[in-house]
Structure 1
Amino acid sequence: LVFAVGLLRGRPLAQMLMSAISLAVAAVPEGLPTVATSTLALGIKNMKSHKVLIRQLSAVETLGAVQVICLDKTGTLTLNQMSVVALQSLHIGIKVKEADFYHEEAKIDPYQSDESLRPMMEVLALCNEAMPSEKGGGLHGSPTENALLQVAIAAGEDVQELRAHRPALKMDYRAEDRPYMVSVHDLADGQFFTAVKGSPAAVLELCRQCSINGQLDVLSELQRNAILTWNERLGADALRVLGVAYCISEDINAYQQHELVWLGLVGMEDVIRPGMEELMAQFHDAGIETVMITGDQSSTAFSVGKRLGLNGDSGKPLEIIDSGHLDKLDPSVLAGLVDRTSIFSRVSPAHKLRIVEALQRSGKVVAMTGDGINDGPALKAANIGVTLGEKGTDAARSVADVILEDDDLKTMVTAVREGRAIYDNIRKSLHFLLSTNLSEIEVMLFSAALGRAEILNPIQLLWINLITDIFPALALALDPPEADVLKRPPRDPNAAIVNRSDYAKLIRESGIITAGTLGAYGYGLMRYGPAGASTHAFMSLTFAQLLHSYRCRSESTSIFDTKNRTANRYLDTAVVLSALLQLLAVSFPPLRGLLRLTPVNALDMLAILAGAGLPLLTNEAIKEIHKNTVNQDNQHDH
């Protein structure tokens, strides 16, 4: 366009061709790929200092768009340090505190209080993979198994002697279609002791009899209802609840014939990690929905979710889905349900994958946490897979995008903040490059339309591009996160990095810079003629572009807002160094001759700085006015 307009105005072909080529080189933000890659790389380095390891470069950008985070309850939201705190038989309810047993605040001997507790403790010791340490004092097993073995030892069981007298013949572990564990032991008289523990409702289904203070009786419907009620109450106290049953039979598979004897319920506490309630609130403030995924039953999951405040302060009810129903739901129906669900209970590893996929079908950008071998498919399917550095398995780490090296979920907030800041900084650098390059095009277009001497020659254009495009753009990529970065909703992942409203800003801001440059050019033209005017335009445009970098730091916080404005020493250094190089260009004779500049005095410099500074003040004033208008509109809406 500049080339065509220049020719129409009678400019020489060679001159316009050189100017057009130089302008094309200067106008294209060729430094943007370098800036974007550098921003992402520096962001990864910065996150590493916060104990967040990023395994995929693309994950940095995706972090800023996360809309839902799916959280494992056990070990992530809780400490995964299980302890038995309640026992409930059909005869008595007992509280357990630090290896002591209490009934109605009175310390008791459990076996003297209820004869049914002895076989219950035997089941907990036998149907258990945990092993007492050979050196004494410790247990080797999962937190749940250790807790069950500890309460059996506290009640008085000699675990090693018990296991020696009742050797295990087989163990059937929990599975998706079997929510309980079974162990069968040889009693050496042709009979077998079958021990069962697991989901209370599922274990209860296997029982035909019950033990009441050591006496066997047929399990009545009234007793079944009482057991289920106790189960709900314990779950409502945020306890993980297990049902316990046994039988002595000549049939090694007696439990399959529903011949078990019900013994009671075991309530275990897994303490919520300190600060998790505040962390959930931080996620909600950032516009990120929190979804808890747990293998616990619904009553336990609901109680934990309520304590964590998973539904935020919106006042909406806390929605929960029992994952036992997931397999029956059509994918499209599930996608509609998950959009308003905060808790999934009784979840298996296969269910986790379905939940992630359903959330994605509903249009969400999903982050998934997990540390187990079976979490791999869900971690891989999620937009962002997050695992733990110390407790995470090799399988989980190999597919995760983000690894929290300190195993602290709170660093996930840091990761989201940095992810948003990095995307913001790429936008800032792009906005700076496009607006400043557009101002160069506008100046040259005006020059071509004027039909007189060039305002800027090709070498000056390339110099401006060299001075203003590299250092300030890189410094903007290092801008610290803005104060409100975690108070905004996540960005739309489908939105263009430069949207329609941005184009209007680019045209307005570049136009104001161009006006300042032309003002300085007019001053020089009146005083010194075309050569001096070109120098004034060259100096003014360069300084205006350098100062414009401060405008690009924020869409809402102006230079007048000293309270919320953060410092960027990299940008300050870049602007000062670039300005010194610009002053060198006009004061160092060889360089001045190369650029075809004329000397400037103090008065000229004031005119140049006015042409450079007024655009910054004008653009920042417009930003401040727009911000105040938006705030007033929001106040009226409320």
Structure 2
Amino acid sequence: VDVGAEDEFRWDGADISPRDHPSLTAALETGVLCNNASLGDTPEDSGAQAVGDPLEVALLVAGRKAGLLRPALTADRPEMREEAFDADVKMMATFHQTNDGFEVAVKGAPEPVLEASTHLLTADGVQTMGPEERSAWMTRNEALAATHGLRVLALATKATSSLEDAAYADLTFIGLVGLEDPPRKDVRDAIDQCHRAGIEVVMVTGDQPVTALAVGREVGLAESDDEPVVHGSELKPPVSIGDEERQRFLQTRLFARVTPKQKLDLIGLHQDAGRIVAMTGDGVNDAPALKQADIGIAMGQRGTQVAQEAADMVLQDDAFSSIVAAVREGRAIFENIRTFVLYLMSCNVSEVMVVGAASLVGTTLPILPLQILFLNLVTDVFPALALGVGEGETDLMDRRPRNPTEPILSRQLWLRVAFYGFVFTVAVLGSLLLAQKWLRMDTDQAVTVSFLTLGFSQLWHVFNMRGPHSGLFRNEITRNPHIWGALGLCTGLMLIATYVPGLNEVLNLRAPGPSGWGLVLGMSLVPLGVGQAAKYVTSGWGSPRRGPGLPGRSVPPRTPGASGESVREGDARR
């Protein structure tokens, strides 16, 4: 029987009424009674204002379409006892008082419900369930899950005279219910971005293996029907897992029928392999695993309060793609911080090296103390701040994850700081020497030329902060409007300091004249030219690299040796 978007029930293409089919009515009643969700206050509400697990909400909506409202059913059959869902048992039961005793409503995974059932509700009444009937229903279950990727629940009931009776024994099996919970359209692209970024995505679900495989194929986690799916029954405690099994579990991307304790063990398994693990979850039982993960991510819409409090972050839209967007933003922020520090350090070190070199050779100081203060407070600050708000390179998600212990400035970057400082020193001292010997300027004018050379060199130096594989003219620096604003502002401040009376006297600056400006422009471009040439030598010009397999920064294969972030998603469809 198919339940449509409207209030219709169809069987073999024809509309039917649940009231004419006792088995269907019994299934709907059981799904409504054995339920902890709630719908809106109005009968017209189709679940938009519902509270609770989406699967249970769907059962309530199906019951409402048939005119079966939980408040009315529980008024007639009050709930007296509840056996809460147990991840180990994979079933839930509620006891309801009737005139003859108690009715037990049970829902859960097909395997344990069928195992606990001794009878079967048919159109001819209740009949004994034998091995053949049980096998036939298991085949239907697998067909629903594998063909349509449905989440399949089994429904059962029984009558008892005692509240103390065992909930999961001597059940009468009613049938199966398949719930369609398709993945969001952006999940497949988001997972593909994760793979290109060196992030492993592992789906760990309580659903059955055939459902996990069907969903895995749809979202790109499974490449074929032969993709291995590890059943929860195969997962042993970490202390008893051998090296071969450990490697197999680290390579597996699909896990089914997994308990909360096993999720905890899987996180520890990946952490022991040196991986950074993020996990998404929404249930109370997910709280320990969310706490254990390096980054616990709870659902903001579907997640329980317990899960949200245990998590490090909460997704307000419950979208997996938002995690990928957050990863990119995090990488961009880190790169901005690194670029910010690299720029400021290279500028400040250059000032120290310029003064130090002039002192060693015994020549005129090319820059005076107040001039250094002016550069530090004015011209250094604005370009650095502009670098800090950049959007990042276009290939951020084509890179391997960085080592979490990696410092902001690595040894290689410190060498770059020293290299840039040396180039600045050569340019500034060269401009001072040319101003004195070639242009025959006095000391004040020559110092002004060297000061302006250093100031404008630092401004043009901002273009050396582009990524090593970004375009020469089209890159994250040239696309940043704040950079151009900072350059314009600082250029204006340099001109004001040079020509405004009073300020130029305080800074001991003199107008350099046309020939002096020509020298400033030429020598200030030296660090920029040398910096760009160095990028060409080390990396080539290139355009922003996209996708795996590009030279110089390979994306790790999906193997246990692929280090980096590992994202665990409780259900890829969410």
* TM bracket (short chain): 0.7 to 0.9
Match of 1:226 in 2: 136
Say if 1:368 and 1:386, in contact at 8 Å, map to a contact too.
Answer: yes
Selected match of 1:385 from 291, 296, 305:
296
Cα shift at 1:272: 2.6
Q: C-alpha separation between the residues in 2 aligned to 1:416 and 1:132? A: 35
Q: C-alpha separation between the residues in 1 aligned to 2:68 and 2:228? A: 42
Q: What amino acid does structure 2 have at the position aligned with 1:411?
A: S
Q: What amino acid does structure 2 have at the position aligned with 1:610?
A: G
Match of 1:491 in 2: 402
Match of 2:524 in 1: 612
Query: Root-mean-square deviation (CA), in Å?
Result: 3.6
Q: C-alpha separation between the residues in 2 aligned to 1:155 and 1:439? A: 78
Residues 249-288 of structure 1 show CA distances to partners (whole Å, capped at 9, x for unaligned) of 5565665683223232221212333432233223333332
Alpha carbons of 1:249 and 1:576: their partners in 2 closer, same or farther (altered >3 Å)? closer
Match of 2:557 in 1: none
Matches within 5 A, 1:351-366: 351-366=262-277
Cα shift at 1:514: 2.2
Q: C-alpha separation between the residues in 1 aligned to 2:40 and 2:534? A: 72
Q: C-alpha separation between the residues in 2 aligned to 1:106 and 1:365? A: 53
Alpha carbons of 1:407 and 1:264: their partners in 2 closer, same or farther (altered >3 Å)? closer
Secondary structure class of the residue paired with 2:230 = strand
Match of 1:550 in 2: 463
Match of 2:13 in 1: 105
Q: C-alpha separation between the residues in 2 aligned to 1:126 and 1:545? A: 72
Secondary structure class of the residue paired with 2:396 = coil
* Corresponding position: 1:202 with 2:115: no
Q: What amino acid does structure 2 have at the position aligned with 1:622?
A: A
Secondary structure class of the residue paired with 2:278 = strand
Give the structure with the higher percent helix.
Answer: 1
Q: C-alpha separation between the residues in 1 aligned to 2:359 and 2:339? A: 30
* Corresponding position: 1:124 with 2:35: no
Match of 1:443 in 2: 354
Say if 1:435 and 1:510, in contact at 8 Å, map to a contact too.
Answer: yes
Secondary structure class of the residue paired with 2:378 = helix
Cα shift at 1:198: 0.9
Q: C-alpha separation between the residues in 2 aligned to 1:462 and 1:161? A: 79
The total of aligned residue pairs comes to 540
Selected match of 1:304 from 196, 206, 215:
215
Cα shift at 1:201: 0.7
Cα shift at 1:548: 0.4
Match of 1:51 in 2: none
Cα shift at 1:625: 4.5
Q: C-alpha separation between the residues in 1 aligned to 2:38 and 2:394? A: 52
* Corresponding position: 1:561 with 2:468: no
* Corresponding position: 1:623 with 2:535: yes
Alpha carbons of 1:299 and 1:317: their partners in 2 closer, same or farther (altered >3 Å)? closer
Matches within 5 A, 1:331-410: 336=247, 339-410=250-321
Cα shift at 1:206: 1.1
Alpha carbons of 1:103 and 1:136: their partners in 2 closer, same or farther (altered >3 Å)? closer
Q: C-alpha separation between the residues in 2 aligned to 1:513 and 1:108? A: 84
Matches within 5 A, 1:216-255: 216-236=126-146, 237-250=148-161, 255=166
Match of 2:426 in 1: 515
Q: C-alpha separation between the residues in 2 aligned to 1:509 and 1:573? A: 24
Matches within 5 A, 1:267-346: 267-310=178-221, 318-326=227-235, 328-330=237-239, 336=247, 339-346=250-257
Cα shift at 1:408: 4.3
Alpha carbons of 1:116 and 1:164: their partners in 2 closer, same or farther (altered >3 Å)? same
Cα shift at 1:406: 4.5
Which runs of 5 or more residues in structure 1 are unaligned? 1-93
Matches within 5 A, 1:68-79: none
Say if 2:91 and 2:112, in contact at 8 Å, map to a contact too.
Answer: yes
Q: C-alpha separation between the residues in 2 aligned to 1:629 and 1:134? A: 63
* Corresponding position: 1:178 with 2:89: yes
Which range moved further: 96-105 or 504-513? 96-105
Match of 1:470 in 2: 381
Alpha carbons of 1:544 and 1:383: their partners in 2 closer, same or farther (altered >3 Å)? same
Cα shift at 1:202: 0.7
Q: C-alpha separation between the residues in 1 aligned to 2:451 and 2:225? A: 60
Say if 1:195 and 1:245, in contact at 8 Å, map to a contact too.
Answer: yes
Q: What amino acid does structure 2 have at the position aligned with 1:562?
A: R
Matches within 5 A, 1:16-95: 94-95=1-2
Secondary structure class of the residue paired with 1:489 = coil
Residues 329-384 of structure 1 show CA distances to partners (whole Å, capped at 9, x for unaligned) of 43876875553233333344444444434333322223333344554443343333
Say if 1:476 and 1:553, in contact at 8 Å, map to a contact too.
Answer: no
Secondary structure class of the residue paired with 1:270 = coil
Q: TM-score, normalised by structure 1?
A: 0.74
Secondary structure class of the residue paired with 1:344 = strand
Q: C-alpha separation between the residues in 1 aligned to 2:482 and 2:552? A: 40
Alpha carbons of 1:417 and 1:532: their partners in 2 closer, same or farther (altered >3 Å)? same
Q: C-alpha separation between the residues in 1 aligned to 2:521 and 2:370? A: 22
Q: C-alpha separation between the residues in 1 aligned to 2:60 and 2:390? A: 54
Say if 1:293 and 1:344, in contact at 8 Å, map to a contact too.
Answer: yes
Q: C-alpha separation between the residues in 1 aligned to 2:210 and 2:309? A: 34
Say if 1:335 and 1:359, in contact at 8 Å, map to a contact too.
Answer: no
Alpha carbons of 1:210 and 1:374: their partners in 2 closer, same or farther (altered >3 Å)? closer
Secondary structure class of the residue paired with 2:251 = coil
* Corresponding position: 1:425 with 2:347: no
Secondary structure class of the residue paired with 2:365 = coil
Alpha carbons of 1:342 and 1:432: their partners in 2 closer, same or farther (altered >3 Å)? same
Q: C-alpha separation between the residues in 1 aligned to 2:70 and 2:310? A: 40
Q: C-alpha separation between the residues in 2 aligned to 1:456 and 1:563? A: 33
Say if 2:328 and 2:396, in contact at 8 Å, map to a contact too.
Answer: yes
Say if 2:83 and 2:167, in contact at 8 Å, map to a contact too.
Answer: no
Which runs of 5 or more residues in structure 2 are unaligned? 555-574
Residues 546-577 of structure 1 show CA distances to partners (whole Å, capped at 9, x for unaligned) of 2101211433335x323776422322222233
Q: C-alpha separation between the residues in 2 aligned to 1:133 and 1:542? A: 66
Alpha carbons of 1:210 and 1:511: their partners in 2 closer, same or farther (altered >3 Å)? same
Secondary structure class of the residue paired with 1:486 = helix
Secondary structure class of the residue paired with 2:363 = coil
Say if 1:205 and 1:258, in contact at 8 Å, map to a contact too.
Answer: no
Q: What amino acid does structure 1 have at the position aligned with 2:355?
A: M
Q: C-alpha separation between the residues in 2 aligned to 1:383 and 1:160? A: 43
Cα shift at 1:403: 3.7
Cα shift at 1:601: 0.9
Q: C-alpha separation between the residues in 2 aligned to 1:126 and 1:338? A: 39
Say if 1:194 and 1:247, in contact at 8 Å, map to a contact too.
Answer: yes
Secondary structure class of the residue paired with 2:519 = helix
Alpha carbons of 1:161 and 1:593: their partners in 2 closer, same or farther (altered >3 Å)? closer
Cα shift at 1:436: 1.9
Secondary structure class of the residue paired with 1:272 = coil
Say if 2:229 and 2:256, in contact at 8 Å, map to a contact too.
Answer: yes
Q: % of aligned pairs identical?
A: 33
Secondary structure class of the residue paired with 2:397 = coil
Selected match of 2:492 from 580, 591, 600:
580
Alpha carbons of 1:606 and 1:188: their partners in 2 closer, same or farther (altered >3 Å)? same
Say if 1:425 and 1:477, in contact at 8 Å, map to a contact too.
Answer: yes
Matches within 5 A, 1:532-543: 532-543=445-456
Q: What amino acid does structure 2 have at the position aligned with 1:207?
A: S
Match of 2:560 in 1: none
